[in-house]
Amino acid sequence: MSENISKVEQDYTEEDIQVLKGLEHVRKRPGMYIGSTGSKGLHHLVYEIVDNAIDEALAGYCTEINVNIYPDNIIEVTDNGRGIPTGIHPTEGISAATVVYTELNAGGKFGGGGYKMSGGLHGVGASVVNALSTWLELTVKDGKNIHFQRFENGGEYKEEMKIIGDTSETGTAVKFKADPTIFTETTDYDYEILSKRLREQAFLNAGVKIIFSDKRGEEENTETLYYENGIREFVEHIHKVKGLEPLSRDVIYFDGKKGDSTAEIALMWNDSYNDDIRSFANNIHTTDGGSHESGFRSALVKTINEYGKKYNLIKENGDKLLLDDVLEGLTAIISVKLTNCEFEGQTKGRLGNPEARPLVENIVSEKLMCYFEENPEQAHAVFEKSENARKAREAAKKARETARRKSAMDSASLPGKLSDCYDKDTALTELYIVEGDSAGGSAKSGRNARYQAILPLWGKMLNVEKARIDKVYGNEKLMPVVAALGTSIGEDFNIEKLRYGKIIIMADADVDGSHIRTLLLTFFFRYMKELIINGNIYIAQPPLFKVSKKKGKKETAKYAFSDEERDMYIEEMKADGDGKVSIQRYKGLGEMDPEQLWETTMNPETRTMLKVNLEDAAKADEIITILMGDKVEPRREFIEKNAKYVSELDI
Ligand code: TSJ
């Protein structure tokens, strides 16, 4: 068989050259295919391969997927499906499997069979993984033969696919090593990141068993991810890890379909004040929602109000529940599978397909009403919870009006501690939110007062997890931030009134500093989310060390932002000959004089800052929920699992 499909190496056709150009382009512009060449892009490689195996499972031919990490960060993904077709591709003249690996976007196209729902974050496929790997090995078992092919240097191959043995089993195995010349930042896979994503896939695809093993360390770390009840168990899992007390015993679950499109919804309320709604389209997390999610929201508020009216729980029309009221304490998963997903927005995180809205809306409207009628105690519990939220909302409105009268929200009365800048153009202006008065002093002297404003924070920080918005209005630490920004919060938020283009959180690299950072991020995430989406929030990166050398009277200094960088500068200075190298460790911003602070952390020409994205903020939000929550067990578990991360954050 391998004889039939072998081609002479030097006999390149025009098509082959096209193929190579495709993969070459992937190597030249990896970002276009996998988003980034950082840690995120690296992990995408694994998702991309696993998604293919999941497609086979969804098609009904595969029950088990194995994902292994071997020493040296080699990844292996195996399934027990039909095996990628190895027969000769009708137009390309080589094995169909080879086509999948060497042509962009070839996945699922061959054989006419194809898949109806194909995921893939950016529509990239196995060929992209191949293009970005030092080597990749493909093994296909077809119930008779074992076929094998090896690729090197981003998709080149010396031999066609060949038979290396016989077998009675079927399945596909892919093993690859990410190319360190492409992934220059890191080629180290993070167990928790992969585990979280694989678990999510197991929840979204009920009945698919994913066995995940990390074989890099002395002790193997293995998890079996298998959920017979799919997204119902996802909702329970979220409650369990966050330590939230459910309002009812069972998760509410609906599914339905229209044509080739399907939707599943699972939901449950808990005793917290926040909602956690996660939506997916073809197994891809739509972080910015979209048509399916808005269909859900609209059906939810409509149905609960209808129920209230029907059973005389709502007396006057003015008592109508708003969306925010019914969302309080709600955890929900919405998962749709469509033949052709369209993702919109800058980060492609929003589902565009208009048909997904009525699909979800109709299922939820019809079935939730039935559910409430059959489970009146649950319906009443939900109603009471929403009713309390409505009352709190109205109390907040009063608090807000009082606050407005005192004109605390008005930019005409800026907070006393604010050292404002002269410029008003948000293309230039920056607000530094600084923890501690001494650092605030240095920042004030060191800044460029034309466009940099300084707001020092003091006093006890409010824990936003336990407070509703009415408490935020009275908080001495947050109110100055709100007043300085000028945008107001929550329902009143208006980005047009923003007084600074960049809002920079500048805190020490210690326990208190990370506490402040996390709380501020949570606050922005909950009450000023648009600022994060809009990319206005930054985290300053002050150096941790100063490495300097005195040669006679002349001092040269370099600032290091990590232990590695510090050691590098020490070596450099030592290698550079005589003079004494000294190291200063900055324990806090207050230890730097104004010039140093300007040069290292505030000068736009020389500073580095981290731009906060929605994911960072959501992470902070999750950390706050778990660490500040009432339950001890999830907190302990979280800290154990995330020991590395937590110590980095030092919370
Ligand atoms: F694409 C890939 F290489 F990334 C990959 C594909 C990786 C892994 C781990 C598994 C797979 C894969 C593909 N598993 N199963 C399949 N199935 C097919 O490609 C297949 C088999 C038969 C037919 C048919 O119509 O008979 C159609 C397809 C798409």
- Specify the ligand 1 atom closest to the Cα of 79: 9
pLDDT at residue number 25: 86
Average pLDDT value over all residues in the chain: 84
448 — pLDDT class (breaks 50, 70, 90): very high
Is the pLDDT reported for residue 580 higher than 50?
A: yes
Percent of the chain residues past pLDDT 70, beyond the cut: 85
DSSP secondary structure letter of residue 88: B
317 — pLDDT class (breaks 50, 70, 90): low
Instruction: Report how many helices (DSSP H) and strands (DSSP E) the chain contains, helices first.
Output: 22, 23
pLDDT at residue number 470: 60
Is the pLDDT reported for residue 4 higher than 70?
A: no
Dihedral class, residue 35 (left if φ above 0, else alpha if ψ from -120 to 50, else beta): left
Of residues 186 and 579, more confidence is placed in: 186
pLDDT at residue number 474: 66
90 — pLDDT class (breaks 50, 70, 90): confident
* Euclidean distance between CA atoms 431 and 453, whole angstroms: 5
For residues 450-463, give the mean pLDDT.
78
Is the pLDDT reported for residue 345 higher than 90?
A: no
Give Cα 252 distance to the centre of its chain.
26
pLDDT at residue number 469: 56
- C-beta separation of 62 from 207 below 8 A: no
The residue type at 635: R
Closest by CA position to 189, among listed 293, 339, 33, 38: 38
Active site residues per annotation:
435, 508, 510, 512
pLDDT at residue number 516: 80
Is the pLDDT reported for residue 326 higher than 60?
A: yes
Closest by CA position to 151, among listed 281, 27, 247: 27
pLDDT at residue number 254: 96
* Euclidean distance between CA atoms 452 and 193, whole angstroms: 37
pLDDT at residue number 578: 77
* Euclidean distance between CA atoms 225 and 216, whole angstroms: 20
547 — pLDDT class (breaks 50, 70, 90): very high
Between the CA of 52 and the centroid of ligand 1 the distance, in Å, is 6
Q: What pTM did the predictor assign? A: 0.70
The per-residue pLDDT for range 487-543, each reduced to its tens digit, is: 988 778 899 999 999 999 998 877 777 778 888 888 888 888 899 889 999 999 889
pLDDT at residue number 61: 94
Residue ranges around ligand 1 (CB below 6 Å): 49, 52-53, 56, 77, 79, 81-82, 84-85, 100, 107-108, 111, 113, 115, 126, 172, 174
Of residues 628 and 262, more confidence is placed in: 262
Sorted by where each starts, the structural domains of the chain and their CATH numbers stand as 14-225 (3.30.565.10), 231-393 (3.30.230.10), 414-542+615-645 (3.40.50.670), 545-610 (3.30.1490.440)
The residue type at 554: K
DSSP secondary structure letter of residue 243: T
10 Å CB burial of residue 215 (0-12, 13-18, 19+) is: middle
- Specify the ligand 1 atom closest to the Cα of 107: 1
DSSP H helices, 6-102, are 14-28, 30-34, 39-58, 96-102
Closest by CA position to 399, among listed 491, 304, 308: 491
- Specify the ligand 1 atom closest to the Cα of 126: 4
- Angstrom CA distances, 333 to 119, 205, 291, 475, stand at 18, 13, 14, 33
Query: What residue's CA is closest to ligand 1, atom 19?
Result: 84
